[in-house]
């Protein structure tokens, strides 16, 4: 037997059912919002804290927000401990570091390496390919030659640079990601992670903070920043870029950034003047020479690991080549600071570099 319901009655029944469902949904949403508000009201307000320690030859700082000093201090201590562990692996000032032990290993043989060393070298090799060799962690022999030049204030000999150049080239380093091994293809190679290790360690420190529940944080290692969630009530962390000595907004301005890496590289502080000519601490792996063209680059990337490496690569490539290379990746942007008219400076942003303010 079928029960026939008139069309209008059916419509009224359906409307009533829909209305009842809508009311239930609205009530549920209201209760969720109310519950969230009550939960927020019970949580203590976040407070700002800052911690500093010396690592990797420079001062590090962690600025973050958390509920109380005990919680945040424990997280910061763990983050700095992670930086110290990575420094011990990657430094080229300690003959016992994993990096230098690898450099002394027999060439042409695959050697097991730690997960951390594999990750940072794989990231470095990626930037080497993208920058067509402008960034190169096999440039260790050249960097050693120029360190000596800065100490002695004497240019490296042509013979020494030629010998160093003969073993430099990122294709001379082979990584096996599956088996976690590295192979140095030619003898007398020396690896140098100085252009990427601080960024990598800053990312690692930020990740430790996140695992401790501290997500609103900024890790600063000299010119390398690993930036987490924004401070409470802010759209991002205020970062000043451009000419650091400028007192005007023409040559320096502020950006508000979150969940990115930011790195600045150049010859503003680390250089040597020999025979009336200024040489940067940044060495071009193609020529073997310290840079002589005045340039500074601030790079924003999806990680401090990549921003660190790309800041060095951008300085070596220069404005034109650097801009073309950076523009190929939508997650990269940069601001170049170069000499301008007379004794002034010019700021040249790539097309994705964000607009700043006071």
CATH number at residue 138: 1.10.3980.10
By DSSP bridging, strand 277-280 and strand 271-274 are antiparallel
CATH of the domain at 78: 3.10.520.10
Cβ atoms within 10 A of the Cβ of 167, count?
20
Asked whether 233 and 257 are in contact (CB, 8 A), the reply is no
Residue of higher predicted confidence among 106 and 37: 106
The percent of residues in the chain predicted with pLDDT above 70, rounded, is 84
The first and second tokens of residue 40, run together, are 């927020």
Q: Clarify whether residues 81 and 158 are in a common domain.
A: no
> Of 184, 215, 244, which residue constitutes the final position of a domain?
184
Q: What is the count of structural domains for the chain? A: 3
Strand partners, 263: 224, 299
> Same domain, yes or no, for 234 and 330?
yes
d(CA 34, CA 190): 61
* pLDDT tops 80 at residue 280: yes
Structural domain includes residue 4: no
Asked if 217 and 267 sit in the same domain, the reply is no
- Residue pLDDT, tens place only, 33-90: 544 444 444 567 899 999 999 999 999 999 999 999 999 999 999 999 999 999 999 9
**Token representation of residue 178:** 């599956």
Say if 294 falls within a structural domain: yes
Is 267 a domain residue?
A: yes
Q: Per-residue pLDDT tens for 203-236?
A: 999 999 999 999 999 999 989 999 999 999 999 9
The residue segments making up the domain with residue 53 are 44-92+194-227
Closest by CA to 125, choosing from 92, 166, 87, 171, is 171
Do 179 and 114 have their domain in common?
yes
For residue 244, what pLDDT is reported? 55
pLDDT over 70 (residue 112): yes
Do 134 and 246 reside in the same domain of the chain? no
Cβ neighbours of residue 208 closer than 8 Å, sequence gap 6 or more: 75, 78, 79, 82
How many residues are present in the chain? 358
Note whether 281 and 302 are same-domain residues.
Answer: yes
Which of 227, 251, 285 delimits the end of a domain? 227
Asked if residue 210 and residue 85 are part of one domain, the reply reads: yes
Same domain? For 237 and 334 the reply is yes
């Amino acid at each position: 037997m079928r029960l026939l319901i008139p069309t209008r009655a059916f419509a009224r029944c359906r409307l009533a059912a829909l209305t009842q469902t809508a009311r239930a949904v609205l009530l549920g949403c209201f209760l969720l919002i109310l519950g969230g508000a009550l939960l927020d009201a019970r949580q203590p307000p976040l407070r700002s804290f800052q911690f500093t320690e010396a690592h990797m030859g420079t001062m590090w700082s962690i600025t973050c927000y958390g509920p109380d000093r005990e919680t945040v201090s424990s997280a910061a201590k763990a983050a700095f401990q992670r930086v110290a562990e990575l420094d011990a692996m990657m430094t080229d000032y300690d003959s016992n570091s994993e990096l230098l032990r690898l450099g002394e290993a027999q060439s042409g043989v695959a050697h097991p390496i730690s997960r951390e060393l594999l990750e940072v070298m794989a990231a470095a090799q990626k930037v080497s390919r993208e920058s067509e060799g402008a960034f190169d962690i096999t440039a260790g022999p050249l960097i050693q030659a120029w360190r000596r030049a800065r100490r002695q204030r004497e240019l490296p000999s042509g013979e020494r640079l030629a010998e160093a150049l003969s073993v430099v080239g990122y294709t001379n380093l082979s990584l096996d990601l599956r088996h976690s091994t590295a192979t140095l293809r030619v003898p007398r190679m020396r690896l140098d992670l100085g252009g990427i290790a601080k960024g990598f360690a800053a990312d690692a420190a930020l990740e430790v903070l996140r695992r401790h529940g501290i997500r609103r944080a900024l890790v600063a290692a000299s010119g390398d920043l690993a930036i987490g969630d924004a401070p409470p009530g802010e759209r991002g962390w205020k970062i000043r870029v451009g000419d650091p000595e400028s007192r005007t907004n023409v040559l320096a301005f502020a950006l508000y950034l979150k969940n990115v890496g930011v790195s600045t590289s150049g010859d503003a502080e680390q250089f040597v003047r020999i025979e009336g000519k200024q040489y940067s601490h940044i060495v071009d792996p193609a020529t073997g020479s310290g840079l002589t063209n005045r340039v500074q680059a601030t790079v924003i990337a999806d990680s401090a690991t990549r921003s660190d490496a790309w800041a060095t690569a951008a300085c070596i490539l220069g404005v034109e080549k650097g801009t073309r290379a950076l523009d190929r990746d939508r997650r990269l942007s940069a601001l170049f600071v170069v000499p301008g008219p007379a004794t002034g400076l010019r700021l040249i942003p790539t097309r994705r570099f964000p607009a700043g303010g006071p």
